[in-house]
Structure 1
């Protein structure tokens, strides 16, 4: 009997292999790299390929990758995602197919260099026949996510045929499907148990986010009543979190609003500010929005667009943060986000990229055509009417936070492919000041920290993937940790506590591992009204969860109200001089002249 089972299994494998081999011989079975055009620019496109099958297959494997990232759907159901084009992603999609009409749909994102999508769906049947669907001239593509674009049958009148860039194996991608390291499941990481390192602290997971219904959370804020607001990176929407007492589970409410994909959330001026990055859910594309309660019934119901922003993806628009005086907003944009056409600028904007030696761009084309100012931070009023460029020259800073002195800090990213090169700049903490330039330039053009017109970092962290930045002010923690700035590293699952030491009108920093986990894809956090530290994990389609850090030790947790006395005179002088930024003033020279030795 065992021999018979083995024989039948072998025959089944043989028939499956024969079916696959027959499909491979078909003239149209070789997948082509395709895109909507041949331009190299940051954009998101939508592609679809309808097909019909007479019977359900015995196996159905989707092989796919995209430069730079993709989300794949079969008949409207998300089946997988990926953001490393060098790897072949493979997904079992058998259960998502149906007899008759089907569709393979892909949301594909490019980040500046040449974009390319390649895919192959192999379906084998018991009768040794096979069906194969590949990226070819039969696809339809669009820059717009038309209604029902993931459904098997739609009107493709407003779509276009793709540009075929070449067969598998062409430069610059090579034969990606032949490389090792293919993946058999959707790219995701489960929320692990976290560890908090300083003595007396406790960390606990308080909520597991159901990805199918609530997505993957990447931003967070807190309102005046202590309720949290979180956003899915994709199109699942915004969620209000009502924290429970003690060990009670939090209550989660989805806001009935057609807006999502926010990398930045802020509660201020009795409003929820939303900095949209991803997609165009409800027609709300990248930009800054204000959501208010229009009739006083306690429900947020009115969405107002304050300013559109040009950029998306992981280097697109990010955080929106309240100023220390509570009167203004700061908005953060990564280096693939064009400046928001500010009415004024504290930064000298006559950028030039002349170099003594010819620039060498990234060999794989990343950000090859991105020019100064790179990542930026802008300041605006609560209505978003008047904008000022505050500082620039970052690569991809995701968030900012203020210390007890009212000074701003951010955590900027590295270009990991530059590791080992003379121009490599590790992830680093910057003290962000008015008019400052931090020297990011594409390729080998990055400014060294010793350039006199580029401000150096407070500390170099090393390789990583910066996300949230949180101030410890308001936490029921010992004074040292109230005064800390917390920087989130997504890749290495670490929240650093940064202890600042004044130096002149700026600071140096020392880092301490505060919370770690493997994996622990930390994205954003807030200090709750109860004095606890809440943070989320998620992003890039990974599984999300909500955590709480509390202090149970014996050290005093009295609120810190006074900042650093050391360096106060220098900071006040610096701020006095900053008042002249972005405008002409006859008194500027006479005020600045006595202080040129600083």
Structure 2
């Protein structure tokens, strides 16, 4: 989990004679609280609010009474909207922190916002002339406050100390109950400002081709390294291009001797040794395992998830002749092979973790299964992908996560948190329930809502403990492997980065994270791309460099290495703003150049 932070600081209650700086105290409290306690789903709405704020003469302030704000105390707040003869509507943005808020317009209740709700936007219909806007708020475990902004035609009204507040001794049911209330100026407890990162995805441009992988079917060799684009300072090398009969490669793992063992779609494995003279040497590894989508060395063994065999295998060299002489099928997973048995990783607890698509049946003999969450409209259960873990012997299995579609890779970060990159459903594109490809922080016991085929929980379903929200939406794509850059020799800005592979668009994406509450928010950039570049797996070697392979669907394969050759820097992490700005223009221009050079058009400019 993210590093434990100090508990939120609550502002001291103040009375009328206090000299306490309310704004600075509440600023500190809200800054800590929003980082730690408020749900990260606030982020996108706060961005909308913050974007609108920048156009206003002043920013909204968190307001409340001058008394206690850390219990079930009640206040009423009111303001007068500017008179306008032609106002057709008023747009209200409202953020209610630690309070239940009922909204009144001219004495009539128009809406109610529950505690811990994301900031809300609603349209009010005023009458001609002067309008009274009021709020009745009941605090919960504080610090309670309200911030609002209104747009009346081209005039902005923000919450500040010109608003009036009345301290209530009990909740009220109607605005008319305030006829004898005593009103005073509201107390400001700080400016409303964005306190969390936003999640920034990537977009496609003119050079992107969702079917670029098909060109690899016709190639006689894998794409040359000089045809690939990567972030400045990085160098890509093609180490080996698969020849005839050497298979289409789909998985990758480094053995204890520093050699690369590669799984392909047919039976068996290959092993590539990078010799000191720079010449790679390939040798077949003849073992009866087919379509090994997952490989991991652990517990003096090579574990292989063989999709076509429907099984997890353990391969061992017991006589030390550099060949696997002991082959055990540890566990069979029934079901189909399309969205099948995918990658493996070793967890910080020493257990094997395996990830599966929605064609595979969850093991009925698992010692633990997460609670079943029904479909939105029926209790019927359908297939969904999952993560399972086991001991080294493959005997004690637990399903730790379910509700996935077709995630291919999984990996842990340095804090021990598990992530994957899950697929979308292409046939849902354009519908309100379409869920794009997404990077997920996988919480133990979580159900992420996918139900095959179109019975999943939609993305607008309210966030619940049992159906966590996606950590980062990417968009259209075809996810394959994921790998954290822990322990690499890349610049510091990339050392906590999650690299995710997009097979259809031929690109490797870099996702930069920052802790947010009990999870994370992230920003994404294209790290490397090519056409064709049907990337299937990625690992970091003992030398700190990135290694990846291409292949899948019987396409041409290759083994590549990415090293950093630029100037080292001391930046510890990239901000979302840096990610958005960094290399965006060079990448775009490079993509356009590739489009002109390889698009086959005769009318390009000269």
TM tier, smaller: 0.5 to 0.7
Q: Does 1:192 align with 2:232?
A: no
Equivalent position SS for 2:289: coil
Q: Does 1:432 align with 2:432?
A: no
In structure 2, the partner of 1:389 is 399
Q: CA deviation at 1:373?
A: 5.1
Q: Is contact 2:421-2:500 (8 Å) kept? A: yes
Q: Does 1:442 align with 2:473?
A: no
- Measured against aligned partners, the alpha-carbon deviations of 1:482-534 in whole angstroms (never above 9, x if no partner) come to 21011000000010011011111111111110010011000001101111100
Alignment counterpart, residue 280 of structure 2, candidates 250, 253, 265: 250
Taking the aligned partners of 1:387 and 1:557, their CA distance within structure 2 comes to: 43
- Measured against aligned partners, the alpha-carbon deviations of 1:109-154 in whole angstroms (never above 9, x if no partner) come to xxxxxxxxxxxxxxxxxxxxxxxxxxxxxxxxxxxxxxxxxxxxxx
State the superposition RMSD in angstroms. 2.6
- Measured against aligned partners, the alpha-carbon deviations of 1:542-568 in whole angstroms (never above 9, x if no partner) come to 00011100001111589x9x9xxxxxx
In structure 2, the partner of 1:238 is 269
| Counterparts in 2 of 1:491 and 1:263: CA distance versus 1, 3 Å | same
Alignment counterpart, residue 229 of structure 1, candidates 244, 258, 261: 261
Q: How many residues align?
A: 356
Q: CA deviation at 1:372?
A: 3.6
Q: Is contact 1:485-1:499 (8 Å) kept? A: yes
Q: Is contact 1:188-1:541 (8 Å) kept? A: no
In structure 2, the partner of 1:207 is 240
Q: CA deviation at 1:354?
A: 5.7
- Measured against aligned partners, the alpha-carbon deviations of 1:198-218 in whole angstroms (never above 9, x if no partner) come to 2211111111011x3211000
Q: Is contact 2:373-2:447 (8 Å) kept? A: no
Alignment counterpart, residue 259 of structure 1, candidates 285, 289, 292: 289
Q: Is contact 1:219-1:523 (8 Å) kept? A: yes
Unaligned runs of 5+ in 1: 1-180, 279-284, 360-369, 563-598
Q: Is contact 1:317-1:334 (8 Å) kept? A: yes
In structure 2, the partner of 1:415 is 425
Q: Is contact 1:395-1:440 (8 Å) kept? A: yes
In structure 2, the partner of 1:401 is 411
Taking the aligned partners of 1:444 and 1:438, their CA distance within structure 2 comes to: 14
Equivalent position SS for 2:245: helix
Equivalent position SS for 1:310: coil
Taking the aligned partners of 1:557 and 1:346, their CA distance within structure 2 comes to: 44
| Counterparts in 2 of 1:542 and 1:185: CA distance versus 1, 3 Å | closer
Taking the aligned partners of 2:250 and 2:454, their CA distance within structure 1 comes to: 31
In structure 2, the partner of 1:343 is 366
Q: CA deviation at 1:296?
A: 2.8
Taking the aligned partners of 1:330 and 1:188, their CA distance within structure 2 comes to: 36
Alignment counterpart, residue 378 of structure 1, candidates 371, 374, 388: 388
Unaligned runs of 5+ in 2: 1-210, 574-606
In structure 2, the partner of 1:355 is 377
Alignment counterpart, residue 313 of structure 1, candidates 337, 344, 349: 337
Q: CA deviation at 1:258?
A: 2.4
Alignment counterpart, residue 524 of structure 1, candidates 537, 540, 543: 537
Q: Is contact 1:436-1:455 (8 Å) kept? A: yes
Q: Is contact 1:196-1:202 (8 Å) kept? A: no
Alignment of 1:89-100 (within 5 A): none
- Measured against aligned partners, the alpha-carbon deviations of 1:36-79 in whole angstroms (never above 9, x if no partner) come to xxxxxxxxxxxxxxxxxxxxxxxxxxxxxxxxxxxxxxxxxxxx
In structure 1, the partner of 2:554 is 541
Taking the aligned partners of 2:435 and 2:467, their CA distance within structure 1 comes to: 13
Q: Does 1:467 align with 2:480?
A: yes
| Counterparts in 2 of 1:346 and 1:185: CA distance versus 1, 3 Å | closer
Taking the aligned partners of 1:239 and 1:249, their CA distance within structure 2 comes to: 16
Alignment of 1:10-409 (within 5 A): 187-188=217-218, 191-193=222-224, 194-210=227-243, 212-235=244-267, 237-245=268-276, 248-278=278-308, 285-325=309-349, 327-345=350-368, 347-348=370-371, 350-353=372-375, 355=377, 371-372=381-382, 374-409=384-419
Q: CA deviation at 1:271?
A: 0.6
Taking the aligned partners of 1:392 and 1:373, their CA distance within structure 2 comes to: 10
Bigger relative contact order (CA 8 A; separation at least 6): 2
Q: Is contact 1:346-1:434 (8 Å) kept? A: no
| Counterparts in 2 of 1:338 and 1:507: CA distance versus 1, 3 Å | same
Q: Is contact 1:477-1:557 (8 Å) kept? A: no
Taking the aligned partners of 2:233 and 2:276, their CA distance within structure 1 comes to: 21
